[in-house]
Structure 1
């Protein structure tokens, strides 16, 4: 069963705010764990680096979603 839609997953407009919030949340968690990583066990650095990488990944997803929406808006205005 399909919904017969030919659009992309970014059409709904919920990806941009959710990805932005996820990016902010993981960046905040990376900042909160940074002091423990710098003053504690070297393995604690992995948690901070992991949070930072997920924050960057969520930011990249958000940027791709914004680019997809603006390209669709540009195509719609040309027609």
Structure 2
């Protein structure tokens, strides 16, 4: 019995769109809280900055998974098959 290593997990196709939606959500929350941060106490600026960092992190995660998904999946298996 084989482990089915030639099959990709079902979750591979969901990471990229969910990370994109999370980036959009974080960017929206950063924009909604920016007015309060600009007109209030400097300590209020922490929340929009944290949301902006979260949006950038989610975009970076999305880019990494999109690049991994677009890579050639047969590149690793050709070496194993010839050995």
What band does the TM-score fall into relative to the shorter chain? Answer: 0.7 to 0.9
What is residue 40 of structure 2 aligned with on the other side? Answer: 40
- Gaps of at least 5 residues in structure 2 are 79-83
CA shift, 1:8, in A, is 7.8
Pair 26,15 (structure 1): closer, same or farther in 2 beyond 3 Å: same
Pair 25,9 (structure 1): closer, same or farther in 2 beyond 3 Å: farther
SS of structure 2 residue aligned to 1:76: coil
SS of structure 2 residue aligned to 1:47: helix
Taking the TM superposition and a 5 Å limit, the aligned residue runs for 1:19-38 are 19-38=19-38
Number of residue-to-residue matches in the alignment: 73
In the alignment, is the contact (CA less than 8 A) between 1:10 and 1:68 conserved in 2? no
- Gaps of at least 5 residues in structure 1 are none
In the alignment, is the contact (CA less than 8 A) between 1:33 and 1:47 conserved in 2? yes
Q: Does 1:76 align with 2:74?
A: yes
Q: TM-score, normalised by structure 1?
A: 0.79
Q: Does 1:63 align with 2:63?
A: yes
In the alignment, is the contact (CA less than 8 A) between 1:30 and 1:49 conserved in 2? yes
Query: What value does the CA root-mean-square deviation take over the aligned residues?
Result: 2.5
Pair 53,70 (structure 1): closer, same or farther in 2 beyond 3 Å: same
